[in-house]
Amino acid sequence: MIEVRGLTKRYGDRVAVNDLSFSVEPGTVTGFLGPNGAGKTTTMRLILGLDSPNAGTVTVAGKRYEDLPNPMREVGALLDAKAVHGGRSAYNHLLCLAQTNNLPKRRVDEVLELVGLTEVAKKRSKGFSLGMGQRLGIAGTLLGDPKVLMFDEPVNGLDPEGILWIRNLMKALAAEGRTVFVSSHLMSEMEHTAEHLIVIGRGQLLADCTMEEFIARSSGQSVRVRTPQAELLAKAVAMAGGDSSYADGALTVQGLNAAQVGDIAFDSGVRLHELTVVRASLEAAFMELTGDSVEYHAAMPVPAVGRN
């Protein structure tokens, strides 16, 4: 259980986190979403006491992080898998972490086994691939068998197998009743893992709700139609009170459901090659919510992200 109350952090003139309040509950994966520069990493650093806030408080299990008697037994956090000394072996890296919290040596072997790094345990982490480095970082978070786990952008740059592994691990950890708090700017990733969402933009809270609520709150669904008579159908749709737009050889209709669009096409004698309901993805809902709060807008038009 993580509780954030009125948290504010400024770096010089820039406000990174602005009066942020939320709670992260045990037993589910909570996704922490926001565009790049929204303040996700800063918030996590504040939770861990790496930075001190200008205002507000953070508690984990009811205590300030630095007051936890055995921090690694309460919280396992991975902010940056590259934050290791590359000259140290995986085993020794984990050993020196375990020793700070008086955790037994054999726990190091266990977590190495758990993340599948036993064979390279004696190798210096300098030579590790991105995925191996990520596994080493995650092994470190599991050392103390903690009740709360925090991961900052854990799937960044990983191959599909690595992504799947982390996704399943997070679900398994939550299923065991732990608090799992994971940040991402990849909405599609959260869609498969998180049950609860906390969305921020420009350091402020934009949404704190379940995944279903978040999608339902978005603009809803649209219908994609492919037809050789797009112009004719667009007119008919407009007369029936719908909106449509034409792009990439397909007409996207909003304000009417698939049955209505099919009937209109039949009535106006338009031949259809495709009629598909497009459910609003988390991606679209997220873009809509954070559109105004993106830190750095691209100067050039870029193709839409996602799979709409």
Place of tokens 């861990």: 48
Decide if 63 contacts 31 (C-beta within 8 A).
no
- Helices 90-100 and 130-142, axial angle in degrees (round to 10): 20
Over the window 94 to 113, marking each residue x when it contacts other proteins by CB under 8 A and - when it does not, the resulting string is -xxx-xxxxxx-xx--x---
Residue 48 found at the interface with other proteins (CB under 8 A): yes
Asked if 253 touches other proteins (CB under 8 A), the answer is no
Given 12, 62, 69, 160, the residue binding other proteins (CB under 8 A) = 69
How many CA atoms does the CB half-sphere of 219 hold within 13 Å? 17
C-alpha 294/C-alpha 36 separation (Å) is: 8
Which of 6, 14, 25, 82 binds other proteins (CB under 8 A)? It is: 82
User: Is residue 51 a contact residue for other proteins (CB under 8 A)?
Assistant: yes
* Tokens 């948290």 belong to residue: 7
E runs forming strands in 86-221: 148-152, 179-184, 196-201, 204-210
The answer to the question of residue 70 lying near other proteins (CB under 8 A) is: yes
What are the residues whose beta carbons fall under 8 Å from the beta carbon of 37, sequence distance 6 or more? 295, 296
Q: Which of 6, 36, 55, 80 binds other proteins (CB under 8 A)?
A: 80
By CB under 8 A, the residues from 1 to 40 that bind other proteins are none
Q: Which of 1, 25, 36, 86 is in the footprint of other proteins by CB under 8 A? A: 86
CB of 63 or CB of 271, closer to other proteins: 63
Kindly state whether residue 77 participates in binding other proteins, applying the rule CB under 8 A. yes
Residue from 33, 132, 173, 256 binding other proteins (CB under 8 A): 173
Distances in Å between the Cα of 131 and the Cα atoms of 121, 161, 162, 204, 258 are 15, 9, 6, 32, 43
Stretch that binds other proteins, among 93-101, 214-222, 228-236, 238-246 (CB under 8 A): 93-101
What is the residue type of 299? A
Nearer to other proteins by Cβ, of 37 and 242: the residue is 37
Question: 258-267 and 230-239 helices cross at what angle (nearest 10)?
Answer: 110
Binding of residue 174 to other proteins (CB under 8 A): no
> Of these, 2, 20, 38, 84, which contacts other proteins (CB under 8 A)?
84
Residue type (1 letter), 211: M
The binding site for other proteins (CB under 8 A) comprises 45, 48-52, 65-66, 68-73, 75, 77, 79-80, 82-89, 92-93, 95-97, 99-104, 106-107, 110, 114, 140, 142, 144-145, 168-169, 172-173, 176
